[in-house]
Amino acid sequence: MAGIGFELRKLLAKDTLSGVLQAYLYASVIGSGPWVLSIVGILVIGLMSSAVSAPGLMVTQFQVSVTYLIAASLILTGFVQLSFTRFIADRLYEKKEAIVLPNFNGVTLVVTTVSGGLGLAAAAFLFEGQNLVYRMLMLTGFVMLSNIWVATIFLSGLKQYKQILLLYAIGYGVTVVSSLALRPLGLEGLLLGFVLGHGVMLLGMVLLVVRSYPAEQFIAFDFARPGAMYVSLMLVGFFYNAGVWLDKFIFWYGPSTGQNVIGPLNASVIYDLPVFLAYLSILPGMAVFLVRMETDFVEYYQEFYDAVRNGSTLARLEDLRNEMVYTIRRGLFEIIKVQTIATLVIFVAGGAMLRALGIPELYLPLLYIDVVAAGLQVVLLGLMNVFFYLDKRNVVLGLTALFAVLNGVFTWITLDLGATWFGYGFAAAVFVTVFVAFQILDRRLESLEYETFMLQ
């Protein structure tokens, strides 16, 4: 996310209503994460297919297949998303732009090889009951998504935000149109449309990297040298993505909540739609999170460390530290306030939303707790962002590991307690992690001057 504040400040500097609206819309789409946009695309294809009397089982099989592709590719590439972006950022700071493209090609080759190998093994041994076309489309989609996540994070780190938005709009536009056009071919037609759209998106990202960072060397593996990439960031990416999806996997394969859909893939009718709908409610919170953290906080953050480098007085440093603390608190409070409003809207309109989607209102309690949990997750992202700015990578690693473990343990416990407790495991895991993060951040900020001067 570092650097998006420059774009947001340009919009806010216009001091107009349209500028403010553009900034928040821009931040909400970038901050919500590509996988939220993926879920929206899947739901749109499913709803439009159902509207023209497409077989319900075919639509369900498509949605479940793509959901697994998204989950598996995010977890797999979590190891390189943050760590490779940090590697490139460090090289750019050293004015070594010539190695950007070769190393991007190198990491793309590694991701393609690993995802392709794992996908090929899964297609051969886990989906032997499915036809060859379905298996090859799943393999292709898995490899493409794995590369798209890495390219998205990579381009975000290089501040190519507008281009990313345009590519996602084009890619998902092609996905929806081609999937609906190929619907007569059945499940394979829907998957082929998904692959075509993401192929367009990936091609656009690769061309953008090539255009932005031309180089004479084609491929390099400098990132693979010992110590070139931070292991802590590799583990953070894995634990966070695994933690986000762990409760879903537990419900998918729980004996009382999971149902087989296709091949080895299960789904949970009672859990999936409420939790995915709840994630759509994070858009307002993500917008506030980025606008506040990447504008107000970053200004005082930069002033504080400029003052450190320029030898300012201790009193000046304490004043700037206090301003940083104030902007952090105000930003987190505004995130909580906006998410509370979004939660109340869902509480009021939740029944109507479910009826419009043809979902029984028995799902309302689960939707409510999932909305609360999703809002807490936005707060957690805000706290993690502050720790990343303070370069407390090990703190973030501990928090993401705690989140993943607690989500698994609490979800398993609530699954045994019965339907009344569904969703509370995920919510409790996020709440405890946020509480611990607040405690750690409070202590770190109190001793910021000491750590800045004495522990470097």
Where helices occur in 263-363 by DSSP H, the ranges are: 272-280, 282-291, 298-309, 314-356
pLDDT in tens, 314-336: 888 888 888 888 888 888 888 88
What is the model's pLDDT at position 2?
45
What is the C-alpha end-to-end distance of the chain, expressed in Å? 25
Split at pLDDT 50, 70, 90, the class of 6 is low
Domain locations along the chain: 32-228, 275-446
Tokens of 288: 């506030």
Q: Does pLDDT of 36 surpass 60?
A: yes
- Can you list the pairs that 9-17 forms with residues at least 24 positions away whose Cβ atoms lie under 8 Å? 9/295, 12/291, 12/295
Nearest to 190 by CA among 245, 133, 116, 274: 133
Split at pLDDT 50, 70, 90, the class of 223 is very high
pLDDT in tens, 275-317: 888 887 877 777 777 777 767 777 778 888 888 888 888 888 8
160 vs 192, higher pLDDT: 192
What is the model's pLDDT at position 320?
83
Mean pLDDT over the full length of the chain:
84
* pLDDT above 90 coverage of the chain, percent: 38
Q: Does pLDDT of 30 surpass 70?
A: no
Nearest to 365 by CA among 422, 432, 425, 431: 422
Of the given ranges (120-124, 220-224, 288-292, 422-426), which has the lowest mean pLDDT? 288-292
Tokens of 226: 């010992």
- Which helix H or strand E contains 224, and what residues bound it? none
- Which helix H or strand E contains 55, and what residues bound it? none
What is the model's pLDDT at position 436?
97
Best-predicted range by mean pLDDT (21-30, 382-391, 417-426)? 417-426
pLDDT in tens, 168-210: 878 888 888 898 888 888 899 989 999 999 999 999 999 988 8
Residue 162 CB neighbour total at 10 angstroms: 11
Contact 205, 148 (CB under 8 A): yes
What is the model's pLDDT at position 53?
47
